[in-house]
Amino acid sequence: MAKKVLEVKNLEVNFRTFSGEVKAVRDVSFDVYEGETLAIVGESGSGKSVTVKAIMGLLASNGYYKNGEILFEGKNIATMQEKELHNIRGNRIAMVFQDPMTSLDPTMKIGKQIMEVIRLHQKASKEEAYQKAIKLIELVGISDPEERMNQYPHQFSGGMRQRIVIAIALACEPKILIADEPTTALDVTIQAQILDLMKDLQKKIGASVIFITHDLGVVANVADRVAVMYAGRIVEVGTADEVFYDPRHPYTWGLIASMPDLDTQGKLYAIPGTPPNLVSPPKGDAFALRSEYAMKVDFEEQPPFYKISNTHYAATWLLDERAPQVTPPEIIVKRREKMKGVR
């Protein structure tokens, strides 16, 4: 098994708001291994963005670490001083954001924005940083780097801006690259290009990637392992194949069933209801309220993680030996079978 580069243990993140404490991340644990891509999927508000922002130490000012540890290179990020974090951010752990249209400083030249991070962490001279920035621009597949260095973000298309953001993130060859929905704001053809680029560069520098998305199609494309989040918790985690073709949690069923494929006919499935309010999260399995498979115990007690394989775990009472046998939705069964055929 590959080396662990990041270990998140029992992480809890709360936000103070006027309507009370929002428990955005509730007891989340996962590991990231060297060179792998871990995708965290879940709908809006499931806590995936907050989880990765917590890893960067970039929580909004009303957020705080309630509990848990984030171990990176032997140190706990959750208790780290701001000053120490400055050496990690952009250097050891870097981040690519969702909207390339707004994530670059509109009044600063592209070259300067790239050079800034190089000079900050590598103590490089202006000339060295310049040369390195030019190489980076070429690396992310943009031509005329010298000319591009002197341009401003508004002279770049969305896809190119995202390439620049990726260049900034990779400038110091980080150990971990966090990508927070990096393709959501791009159109589909550009999405594919950006994903390919990221995969490519990941191999080159050997970084681990944490990929946040709500687009399962993207997950299938990039992820080695997948963690499914719901209402601030991870409900299922496994290799991409396991989660896609042998999902066990009813929420994962719902997610996959609502993803169209070539055989989809008629109305697309949608999970009924809305996610719970995380100011006062429900007792037990948070998904029980929306699940047709919910049992009495689901409303009372949080299910533990059940081991399905060495890499595949799911937190649902359905996996308990006392639970009745249920058949997942038709579409999941079909996919399982279809996959068996392919493999």
Partner 1 sequence: MLRYVIERVLLIVVTMFVVITLNFFLLQLIDGSPFDNGKITPVQVEMMKRKYGLDAPPMEQYLRYLKGVVQGDFGTSFKLQNKEVKDLIADKLPNTVKIGSMALIFGVIVGILLGALAAIYRNSFWDHFVTVLAVVGVSIPSFVMAAFLQYYFVVKLGWFPFLFQEPDVDKGITVWMSVHSMLLPAFSLSFYVISATMRYMRSELVEVLNSDYILLARAKGLNKSQVIMRHALRNALIPVITIIGPMAISLLTGSLVIEQFFGVPGLSKLLLNAVYQNDYFLILGVNSFYSFLYVVIVLIVDLLYGVIDPRIRLKGGN
List residues binding partner 1 (CB under 8 A).
56, 58, 82-83, 85-91, 94-95, 97-99, 102-109, 116-117, 120-121, 152, 154-155, 165, 168
- Report in angstroms the alpha-carbon separations of 342 from 44, 107, 245, 247, 323: 32, 51, 11, 17, 31
As measured in angstroms, the least distance from the Cβ of 27 to partner 1 is 26
Find, among 240, 178, 217, 221, the residue nearest to 49 by Cα.
178
As measured in angstroms, the least distance from the Cβ of 89 to partner 1 is 4
Please give the sequence-ordered ranges of beta strands (E in DSSP) within 173-243, or none if there are none.
176-180, 208-213, 225-230, 233-239
Pick between residue 63 and residue 276 the one whose CB is nearest to partner 1.
Answer: 63
What is the Cα–Cα distance from 127 to 139, expressed in whole angstroms? 18
As measured in angstroms, the least distance from the Cβ of 144 to partner 1 is 17
Pick between residue 155 and residue 157 the one whose CB is nearest to partner 1.
Answer: 155
Find, among 54, 58, 64, the residue nearest to 16 by Cα.
64
As measured in angstroms, the least distance from the Cβ of 111 to partner 1 is 13
As beta bridge partners, residue 8 has 30, 70
- H or E stretch covering 196: helix 188-205
Pick between residue 58 and residue 259 the one whose CB is nearest to partner 1.
Answer: 58
Pick between residue 82 and residue 127 the one whose CB is nearest to partner 1.
Answer: 82
As measured in angstroms, the least distance from the Cβ of 49 to partner 1 is 11
What is the Cα–Cα distance from 206 to 278, expressed in whole angstroms? 37
Pick between residue 65 and residue 269 the one whose CB is nearest to partner 1.
Answer: 65
- Report in angstroms the alpha-carbon separations of 253 from 34, 70, 292, 335: 29, 29, 11, 11
Report angle CA 75, 63, 168 to the nearest 5 degrees: 60
As measured in angstroms, the least distance from the Cβ of 40 to partner 1 is 17
What is the Cα–Cα distance from 158 to 100, expressed in whole angstroms? 6
Pick between residue 94 and residue 318 the one whose CB is nearest to partner 1.
Answer: 94
